Amino acid sequence: MPRAKFRAILFDIGRVLVGVDVSRVSGGLTAGPSLSPSELWFALENDPRWPDWQEGRISPRDWYLHVSQRLCVALSFEQFAEVWNRAIAPEPIQDDAFLERLAKRYRLALLSNTDPIHVAHLESTFAFFRLFPVRIYSCTVGARKPNPLIYREALRACKVPASQAVYIDDIPAYVQAARVLGISGIHFQSKEQLLGDLQSLGIEV
């Protein structure tokens, strides 16, 4: 059988395009040594309002007030945003040249569970975002991975059927959710592995 002709490549952001280190946040959000970085982030991700934050049902300022009250920290909104964005590493994982080559041949899209504060920081910090005409964020579409709705929104925005799209993520469950919909999935583990997996699908890199 002939290989599928891919037209769109969908990328997760965190730990695929840019590094993430949540331990960098903890120093600014804890008043004392009561919580380790991993414990702090676990508490945030399991906060009852976390789904609302990730799916755009709570404003940045309301999230700031909620977290500040819960953790008993005294920061201005601007200070909180700066601390929140420390989780994003300053250097990208992927080379611009690699993404530019892909952008010449395929429609590139971002598909990420993220929040408005991180979106503003990412888009203003990393020049390679210009290569992604389609940007699907959970906080703007009201759904998070692995909800099928967010994947379908990405396909709709890319104007391709599932069979013509590839999705790349560092979380296996999110890759599998894409595959269930008929999207080819790649579990990202390293730059070298990603290149090999793309080439095995017939994608020119």
Tens-digit pLDDT profile for residues 21-72? 988 898 788 755 577 888 889 999 999 999 999 999 999 999 999 999 998 8
The pLDDT value recorded for residue 2 is 44
Domain count, the chain: 2
Residue 130, domain member (yes or no): yes
What's the pLDDT band for 3 if we cut at 50, 70, 90? low
CATH number at residue 148: 3.40.50.1000
DSSP labels, 72-115: T----HHHHHHHHGGGEEEEESS-HHHHHHHHHHSEEEEEE---
Residue 99 near residue 131 (C-beta atoms within 8 A): yes
Residues 6+ apart with CB under 8 A from 141: 56, 149, 150, 153
101 and 42, same structural domain? no
Tens-digit pLDDT profile for residues 186-202? 999 999 999 999 999 99
The pLDDT value recorded for residue 204 is 93
